[in-house]
Structure formats: structure tokens, C-alpha cells
Structure 1
Amino acid sequence: MASAGLSFGNPVFAAYAAYASLVILKMFFVVFFTTYTRFSRGVFANPEDVKGNKGAVARLDHPDVERVRRLHRNDLENIPAFLAVGLLYVLTGPSPGVALWHFRVFTAARCLHTLSYLAAVQPWRALGFGAGLLTTISMAVQVLMAGTL
């Protein structure tokens, strides 16, 4: 069993830290893509943001902007849960190989979900969402089994 410490000497924590950083960076990509979409479509949420952007309008219903916002909201609903449960999972002292696959699958699933959402492609978007959710649930169950109620 791997050391359950929160140090980079623990291979499970090191893997968690790397994959957690990747999904956070992926989430920031969506933030920047939202900004790009707003500027490229000339659509902003607040009237003060329109100033200085010739031809821009303030509206909350542009389909392209709203698609990226829904993607971002989905990230905000799923990635923090992975970060919290993943950290607790590290503390259970899981097998490094099993833990690494949990982290890899979640990260790949969220990337697949993002690309599929932006391209409006089903069933890939649902598969990416489901794989990430199941991975987080798997870790949560293992944390529950390791804890006492």
C-alpha cells in the first residue's frame, strides 16, 4: 500500500496533483474560450462591457455564448467534486495503479466532454460526462468504505 501522505514523495498524491492541475487548466481554457466567444460575437452580459467594443450588444441569450457558458457551468459542477473526492481518495492509500487510472479516466472524460460540447456531438458528450461522473463516484465509494460512519 502506498504512503497516504500528502507529499510528492507519495506517487498517488503526485499523480493526483498532476491530473488535478490538468483539469483546472482545462477549466481555465473554457474561461478563455468564453471570453473569445463573447468578443468574436460582440455579445456581452453587462452594459458596461459593451463600452469600447464597437457594434457589441448586451444580451444573455446568444446561442454560441450560452453553449460555452453551459459547458463552463458543467465544469464547475463536476471538477470541484473530483478535486475534493480525489484528495480524500489519496488519503485512503489506494493502489498507485488503480488511482492513476481513476485520475486518467476522469481527465480524459472531461476533455472528451469539453470537445464534444463545443462541437455539439452526441453521444460523445454524454459518454464523457458519464465516465467522469462514474470515476468520481467510484472514488467517493472507496472513501466511504475507508471512513467510519
Structure 2
Amino acid sequence: MSSVLHVYAGCVLVLLCKMWAVSCYQGFLRIRRRAFTNPEDAGFFQRDAHPQELPQVSRAAKAWINDLENIPLFFVLGGLCLALETTSVITAWLCAAFTVARVVHTVMYLGGRQPWRTVAYGVGMMCLLGMAGMVGFELLPALGTAGA
């Protein structure tokens, strides 16, 4: 197994654990505060349902949604980089940088820290664009022969 595959697999694992932690964080806050918006959850804990989520839970949900908009792109582009055997060193660095950026983005999102949240988001997007560029570069020769 190649070292870039190890890096990619490690990044996937870190990102999955990060998303799982955000999900657990939301549940922890609801249980700790006994604040549930779903009537069946509130009833289970013998509470009345809250009309809206706790602010911290709403913020974590927004971070989760942002992850769902970005992390699947990483899974696909990283997998394509591996399949097309793009430059290993660059691929590994982009995977690692994307992962660090997403972790920092989540921490900054939960803490309400700007401009660092936006900076982390931008770094992650640049990594995705870099991976997309490498995939496109690897596909160019195949596209050139397709018309012949």
C-alpha cells in the first residue's frame, strides 16, 4: 500500500471522527440541558418540548451541514487522485492540509471565531481546487485522444 494511500485513509478517518464528535456534541448538549425539540425525545425525559434548538446545537448543526457540503468532495477528489496516481507528495500534502483546515474550521465555527473560520474554509477550498486541478491534468491526455 502506498504512503499517499495511508495519508488519505488517515485523513478520512480523522474527518469521520470529527463529524461523529460534532454529532455527539449536539446530543450531549441536548441531554445535559434537557432541551429537546422533538416531542418524543422530550417525553422520554419527562420534559416539555422546546420550540427551538439551543443556540449551541444550532451552531453545531450548521458546522455539520458545512461538512456535508465539503467533505464528500474531498472523498471523491482524493479517491480520484489515488486512482489516477497524481503526484504523491502534492496529493498527500493537499489531503493533510484539507483535513487540518476542516478541523480548524469546525473548532472556529463552534467558538464563533472570525476571520479564522473563513480562513480555514478558504484553505480547505484551495486544497479541493488543487486536487481537482491534478485530476484534470491527469485526464488531459485521455481527452486529447478521445476525439481522434
Superposition pairs of residues 39-118 of structure 1, within 5 angstroms: 39-55=31-47, 57-118=49-110
Q: 1 or 2, which has the higher helix percentage? A: 2
Tell me, yes or no, if the aligned pair for 1:34 and 1:65 is still in contact at 8 Å.
yes
Give the distance between the partners of 1:93 and 1:134, measured in 2 at CA: 20
- Read off the aligned partner of 2:68 and give its amino acid letter: L
Tell me, yes or no, if the aligned pair for 2:7 and 2:95 is still in contact at 8 Å: yes
Aligned pairs for 1:5-44 (under 5 A) are 9-44=1-36
- Alignment CA distance shift 1:81-1:66 (3 Å): same
Q: What is the CA distance between 1:61 and its match in structure 2?
A: 4.2
Instruction: Using structure 2 for the length normalisation, give the TM-score.
Output: 0.87
Structure having the higher Rg? 2
Per the alignment, residue 133 of structure 2 pairs with 141
Change in 2 beyond 3 A, CA 1:35/1:61: closer
**Structure 2: how far apart are the matches of 1:41 and 1:84?**
38
Query: Which runs of 5 or more residues in structure 2 are unaligned?
Result: 144-148
Q: Structure 1: any 5+ residue segments left out of the alignment? A: 1-8
Percent of aligned pairs sharing the same letter: 32
Q: Which moved more, 1:42-51 or 1:57-66?
A: 57-66
Q: Distance in 2 between matches of 1:55 and 1:136?
A: 45
> Number of aligned pairs?
141
Moved over 6 A (4+): none
Amino acid at match of 2:108: S
